[in-house]
Structure 1
Amino acid sequence: MIADERAATTPAARTLKWTVSAIAIAMSLYHMYVAGFGPPEAVIFRGTHLLFALTLVFLLYPLKPAGGLAWRIGDAVLLLGSWAFVLHIFVNYEYFTNRIIYIDELTLADRAYAVVSVLIVLEATRRVLGWALPFTAICFLVYALFFTTVQVPVLMEQLYLSTEGIFGSTLGVSASYVMLFVLFGAFMERSGTGRLFMDFALSLTGHTAGGPGKVAVISSSLFGTVSGSAVANVMVDGPMTIPLMKRSGFRPPFAAAVEATASTGGQLMPPVMGAAA
C-alpha cells in the first residue's frame, strides 16, 4: 500500500495555496475548539470532520495533476458532491433524527445522496491510498448486494443515514482522537521534539549493526509514549528515519515498512496506549 500511495500535489496557484492553508487552519481550530468545549451531535461533528477532509483531498489530490480545464471541472464536481451529501444531512437534521430508521421510506433525494456519498468516499480514499482499501470495500458492497438478502434501500440507509456506516464510530475516532494526535505530532515536528527522540535513539544504537532500523524502532517507541497515534508517529519520525535507513543500504520499501511497523507498535506504549483505546 505504501508503494501505491500518491504524493499530494502542491497547489500551483497562489489563491489555491491560501485556500488550502485556510481550510487546514480552520479544521485545526475547529477540532481544538471541540476538544476544549465538547463536540456537537455525533453526526454533525463527524460530518463536519468529513467535509473538511474531503475538501482537502479533492484540492490536494487532483484526478490528473497536469490535466486541463476538463479535469479540474471533474474535481470541482466531486468537491461539490461532497458538500452536497453532507449538507443534505445538516439542513434536514431534524427530519433525520425524527424518522424511524429502516421503517420510514427513503426519499428520492436520500437514495441519490446515499449513492453519491459512497462513490465520493471511495474515490477520495483511492486518491490518497490507492486501490487496496477501496477495492476491499467494493468487494464487501458487492457481497452485500448480490449474495445476501439485504435490500438495497436498507443498505443505503445503513451506509448514509445511520451512525453505523460512513458516519460511524471509525469516523468518530478519527474526528475525536486521531485528528488531535496528528495536530500534536505536527507541533512536535515543528518544535524539534521529534528530533530529540531521534538523537537519543541514535546515540544508543547508531553504532551497532542495523543501527538505523533500531533507531527507527526506539524513536517511534519514545514518540508513541506521548502521541498514541501511528499516523502522527510516522509523520514525525518517518521523514528522519526512512532517509537514514535508505542511506545505510536499506531498500526503500523495507525502510518504510520498518517505520510503519515501529510506529504501529509505538502507539501502544504507555501511558497513552493508543489513540483509539
Structure 2
Amino acid sequence: MAENKNQHLDRPEDFEQLSAEEQQEILQKYDPESNTRDLKGVMLKVVFFGLLAFSLFQLYTAIFGQFTAYLQRSIHLGFALSLIFLLFPAIKKAKGEKRNKIPWYDYVLSGLSIVVGAYWPIMYDELVFRIGNVTTPDLIVGVLAIVLTLEATRRAVGLPITIISSVFLFYAFFGRIFPGFLGHRGQDLDNIVQLMFFTSDGILGTPIGVSATFIFVFLLFGAFLVKTGLGQYFNDLAVAFAGHLIGGPAKVAIFSSALQGTISGSSVANVVTSGSYTIPMMKKMGYKKEFAGGVEAAASTGGQIMPPIMGAAAFLMVEFIGGGIEYWDIAKAAAIPALLYFTGIWIMTHFEAKRVGLKGLPKEEIPNRKEILKKIYLLAPIFGIIVFLLMGIPTMQAALYGILLTIIVSWFDKNTRLNFKDMIEALVDGARTALAVAAATAAAGIIVGVVVKTGLGLSLANGLVSASGGSILLTLFFTMIAAIVLGMGSPTTANYVITSTIAAPAIITLLMLDMPDGASVPLVIALSAHLFVFYFGIIADITPPVALAAFAAAGVSGGDPIKTGITSAKLAIAAFIIPYMFVLSPELLMIDTTVPQLIWVLFTALSGMIAIGAGMIGFWYTKMSWIERILAVIAGLLLIYPEGISDIVGLVMFAALFAFQFLRRNKDNPINTATA
C-alpha cells in the first residue's frame, strides 16, 4: 500500500481506523490484485527493478512515441506476465515460507513469459512477411501465450474472468456441438493460435493495446497522486464539509468515495482504503454494521463510474465505440449519471439518518476548514487533467502533464513534497497496479477474438432481441441480467470488455431496427448502449451472491456479508434505474440536447430519486406507511421515466406525498428535521 504523506488535520481521534496490516489482510481476502507474495532479499530487489523497468519502458514510449502495435503490446504482455508469476502465488491461501519464497516452477513460468513477450520483437520481420502461416515454433509460443495468460489472470485477477475466457476458447474449438444460433463450424488449433497471438483480434488486440498506452500512464498518474497524500486529504475534505450534516459519517463516506473514485481503479481497494476510516466512524455514531458497510460499498463501487478516470474503462470505450469519439465525450456523458448515482445514495442515507435519529459529528471532531482548504492545491492535477482534455490535448499527453503537475504541486508543502525516492516508488506502485489490468485485458482479448471469429456477438444480440419480442424494456432487462452475471468478480477494465462485446450489441441492434440497412450507428445509441452494460457490470460488485465490494466492506465493519450486500444494493437502487433513464432519455448524456431539456430531465430525475429514496427507507419527514411507501416508489418511477404524461402524474403524486408528510412532521416526528 502506498505511503500516505498527508497526516490527519486537527482531528482529536482516529475513529479506530484499521491498521495497514488489517487493511492488507482484507484486501488479500477479497481483492486478487492485492494477494501478492511477501518477498525479501534478492528477489524483492529483482521484482522492484522489474516493476521500475516496466514503468520506464511505458513512460519512454509515451513520451518519445510508441512502437508498432504488435511490439508495444507483446513487450507490455511480457513484462506483466513475467512479473505476475514472481509476485503472485499459485495458491491464494499460501502462508509462511510458501508465501515468502518463489517455487522453481514460477521461475520457469516467468522465464517462458519473457520468451513470449520477446517473440514478436525478435521475429518481427519474419512474422510480418509470412503473416497467416503458422510454423511449429509459432504454434508452441502461441499456445504458451494462451496458457500463461490464463494462469496469470487466475492469479492476479481471479477465477471468474479466467473461467469465462476458457469457456470461450472451448466454444471456439467445439462450435459444432452447440445448438441453434450458437452453433458454428469450429476452429482447429492452428487457427485459434493464429487468432490469439498473431492477429490484432486476440490477446494482442485492442484491450491490451489500451492497457499498454492510455491506461498505464493514467495508473502512474494515480500512483503519483496517492504519494502526495491525496487519499487522506479526500477523507479530511469530506469530514470538513459533510461531517456536521445529519448522518454525517455516512455522507462523509459518500463524499470521500466519490473523490477516491477519480483516482482508484478498484471498487474493493476503494472500500478498504476509504472504508477503514469511514466505517468505524459510522459505527461509532450509531449506524448498524451492515448499513455502514453497505454505504461504503455502494459509494466505492460508484467511484468506478466517476469521471474523469472511470476505473480506466473510459479509454477502452473510446476504442470500442470508435467513430471519432473522444475521451472527453465519454467523460462528459458519464458526468450526470454519476451525479445522480451519488445523489441517490446521499438521499437514502439522509432519510435513514432521520429515521433513526442520527445527527452529525460533534464540532470538536470536525477538522478546521481553513486548514483543510490550505491544501486544496492537491486537487489541481485532477482539475488540470480536465482542463487539458478540454483544450484538446491528446489523452496520453494530458496524463503526462498531469504527472508533471502532481510533482510540481507536491512541492507547495514540505509534508506533501515528492522527493526522488517517492517518485521511484510511485513508478513501482503504478506498475504493480498495472499488472492485473494487463492480465485482465489480455484475457479479455481472448473473448473478443472468439466473438469476432465466430460472430457470437451478433448471434447473442439477435437472440436477446428475439426473446424480448422487440420490447425495448425487456431487451434492456435481459441485457442488465447478462451484464451483472458477466461482471461478477471481474475488474473494471475486463468487466467492460466482456459486457460491451457480448451484451451491448443487443441494445444497439434493437435501437437500430428503424434505421436503413447499412446505416452507421449514431453516437448517442452506441454510447448509451456501452454505458448501460458498463454500469450494470460495475454494479455486480455489490449485487449478491458475488458482491466483492460488499463482502470487503463487511470484512471492515464486522457485519454479515450477505446482509451488507443486500443493503448496498438497496442503497444503490439509483444505479439500477439510471442506465434505463439515459437509454430512454439520452439528454442525460448531454448529447444533442438543449439546456432547458437538460434542466427538466434533471429536475424530474432528482425528484424521482427523492421519492424512491423515501419509499425504500420508509421515512421522509416522518415515518411512512406501506401505502405511502408504494405510492412514493411509483411516483419516483413515473418521474424518472422520460415521458410528458408520466412526469405530470409523478409530479402530482410527489407534491401530494410531500405535503402530507410535511404537515405530519411536527406531530409524528420530534426529531430535528433540518435538511442536509
Match of 1:140 in 2: 168
| Structure 2 residue corresponding to 1:267, chosen from 272, 295, 307 | 307
| Structure 2 residue corresponding to 1:126, chosen from 151, 154, 168 | 154
In structure 2, what is the Cα distance between the partners aligned to 1:98 and 1:83? 23
Match of 2:41 in 1: 14
In structure 2, what is the Cα distance between the partners aligned to 1:178 and 1:165? 18
With over 3 angstroms needed to count, the CA separation of the structure-2 counterparts of 1:95 and 1:274, relative to structure 1, is same
Output the amino acid matched with 1:127.
Answer: R
Output the amino acid matched with 1:158.
Answer: L
Match of 1:93 in 2: 124
CA positional deviation for 1:216 = 4.2
Is 1:3 matched with 2:21?
no
In structure 2, what is the Cα distance between the partners aligned to 1:273 and 1:59? 27
In structure 1, what is the Cα distance between the partners aligned to 2:150 and 2:297? 25
Size of the alignment, in residue pairs?
A: 268
Q: Secondary structure at the match of 2:113?
A: helix
State whether residues 267 and 273 of structure 1, in contact with CA within 8 Å, keep that contact through their aligned partners in structure 2: no
Q: Normalising by structure 1, report the TM-score.
A: 0.83
Alignment of 1:244-263 (within 5 A): 244-247=277-280, 248-249=282-283, 250-251=289-290, 254=294, 257-258=297-298, 260-263=300-303
CA positional deviation for 1:127 = 0.5
Is 1:149 matched with 2:185?
yes
Alignment of 1:1-277 (within 5 A): 3=30, 5=32, 7-11=35-39, 13-64=40-91, 65=94, 66-67=97-98, 72-101=103-132, 104=133, 106-147=134-175, 148-152=184-188, 153-208=190-245, 211-222=248-259, 227=263, 230-231=264-265, 238-247=271-280, 248-249=282-283, 250-251=289-290, 254=294, 257-258=297-298, 260-268=300-308, 274-276=314-316, 277=327
Percentage of matched positions with identical amino acids = 29
Match of 2:331 in 1: none
With over 3 angstroms needed to count, the CA separation of the structure-2 counterparts of 1:141 and 1:188, relative to structure 1, is same
With over 3 angstroms needed to count, the CA separation of the structure-2 counterparts of 1:171 and 1:259, relative to structure 1, is farther
CA positional deviation for 1:223 = 5.1
State whether residues 85 and 113 of structure 1, in contact with CA within 8 Å, keep that contact through their aligned partners in structure 2: yes
CA positional deviation for 1:136 = 0.7
In structure 1, what is the Cα distance between the partners aligned to 2:130 and 2:118? 18
State whether residues 61 and 127 of structure 1, in contact with CA within 8 Å, keep that contact through their aligned partners in structure 2: yes
Structure exhibiting the larger radius of gyration computed from Cα positions: 2
In structure 2, what is the Cα distance between the partners aligned to 1:273 and 1:133? 16
Output the amino acid matched with 1:9.
Answer: R
In structure 2, what is the Cα distance between the partners aligned to 1:167 and 1:32? 20
State whether residues 181 and 232 of structure 1, in contact with CA within 8 Å, keep that contact through their aligned partners in structure 2: no
Q: What is the root-mean-square deviation of aligned Cα atoms in Å?
A: 3.1
Q: Normalising by structure 2, report the TM-score.
A: 0.36
For each residue in 1:189-212, what CA deviation from the matched residue of structure 2 results, as whole angstroms up to 9, or x when unmatched? Answer: 111223223322222333446645
In structure 2, what is the Cα distance between the partners aligned to 1:118 and 1:87? 15
State whether residues 145 and 197 of structure 2, in contact with CA within 8 Å, keep that contact through their aligned partners in structure 1: yes
Runs of 4+ deviating beyond 6 Å? none
Output the amino acid matched with 1:263.
Answer: G
Output the amino acid matched with 2:146.
Answer: V
Structure 2 gap segments, 5+ residues each: 1-26, 176-183, 284-288, 317-326, 328-676
Structure 1 gap segments, 5+ residues each: none
CA positional deviation for 1:256 = 6.7
